[in-house]
Structure 1
Amino acid sequence: MPRQIPNVVSIAGVDPSGGAGVFADIKTFSALGAYGCGVVAALTAQNTQAVTGVHVPPTDFLRLQIDTLFADVAIHAVKLGMLGSAEIVATVADRLAHFDAPFVVCDPVMVAKSGDHLLARSAVAMLIEALLPRSFMITPNLPEAGVLLEQRPPETVKEMYRAAERLREMLPLSSERWVLLKGGHLPGNEVVDLLFDGDRMIELPSPRIETKNTHGTGCTLSSAVAALLPQHAGGLRPVEAAVRDARDYLLRAIATSGALSVGKGHGPVHHFHRWWPGA
């Protein structure tokens, strides 16, 4: 019997350059064998160098997008990206709770690669209060972890351990929940991510790939995890396996990014490196 192809939705912002946000997420879903859906939570004027504007849809229309999609399509996983405002965060959290959405992977997008802020400060408290309890996994980088914990970002792997423990305490303690703390901001030739469920702390090291093409790496990793979680369900250590496969996909997408020529700033990763010739 052929396997079921999971339907995975990205609820995030739109990056017109295609390197991050909903467009990058759907590319990732497609590359990893999932059917991609998208709900637009924000519009940006953005390229590889800067974000020059942000527009968020009315919350009533955002709610209508989610309700209409979930009423018709069986959703097997959800990836959350840029949400932009406290009202958007609250609306998304409410609808995910209403539909009891599975495998919610929350990437708390706060700052673009260009340094532009993408999440209003008022939205951070709402994210912690309303959205983290609905999340199966959160995937902050170190600056985002610092914002969530109201402290400076971790500066060593040892400090990452403590941050991962504190982040896990912000999730429901009575059920399976995971933290994937990304260590790419630490210096050195090796990147160490931490995967933690409140019991097992798993170090995930990889060599650092020197390239300027890192636009959308966080979006791509979290959407890869969302695409793979339903496909690994029922297997041995399914969450760890999904994360390891997602990281492998991202590393290869970064390593082959030089095959693309997109923009003058931080270029995108190569989402279709497995399929396009020349990568």
Structure 2
Amino acid sequence: MSRIVYLNGEYIPEEEAKVSIFDRGFVMGDAVYEVTCVLDGKLTDFEGHMARLARSLKELAITCDISRDEWLEIHRKLVAENGLELGGVYLQITRGNAGDRDFHYPPAGTPPTVVLYTQEQPHMLDGPKVEKGVKVISVPDLRWHRRDIKTVQLLWASMSKMAAEAAGKDDAWFVEDGFVTEGSSNNCYIVKGNTIITRPLSNDILHGITRASLFRMCAEHQIKIEERAFTIAEAQEADEAFYTSASAFVMPIVEVDGVALSGGKPGPVAKRLREIYIDEARKAAI
């Protein structure tokens, strides 16, 4: 059975969904996206994703008049139509169809292209990576310098994930000017003693929604967080490490550039934070 997807106001089977070859998202990568996690058929961190979506649209001057309540209705309908219990809802908005390839923006009033679809992730809560942790390599950060905008410009992230796979590892950390910025699709952290260390927010990294929730939960549980940049060498000397994302929650990291952390097993802080996050996310899901 094919998925039901949302395309410009219509709910249709995925094989019937068509987008113009002149769409700005296709020819220019001129688009933003969000992925909202679904736990037990409910949406997690929805308000945070909608706030970041609005910010991304504003930063790129893309107009989309769909309201928060309308977004919620669309998300819930797709979850229900596809019987999704565990996974995510992908949302993408492009600047629309300009009618031809042109570096200039389309004329004012050109409607955006809006696409949403569901993705099942049956091993989101368990699986080998959760049990064993992940291993990462470092790569140069060659992306543009507005990483705080969640655009579909993901080629370097994709290439870096493939480089990690070719090296027999799971993911990549980006390094710029000697310091770790973030993971290929996540925010990253190290743990030293009783302190979690992670890079502060700026245009250099994505303002993670799971990151924000984790900060709030750490404050509630009196867990100290220090916001500062760290190096690969410092990470290799840390007690443990982990990353956060909407689809992975809190994922333990057990190796950085060939150096094992926490005895090559998921550390206690990462495991505890994962438990806290999933529990709190379930309680707050809508």
TM-score, normalised to structure 1, is 0.25
* Structure that is richer in strand per residue: 2
Looking at CA atoms only, which structure, 1 or 2, has the larger radius of gyration?
Answer: 2
TM-score using structure 2 length: 0.24
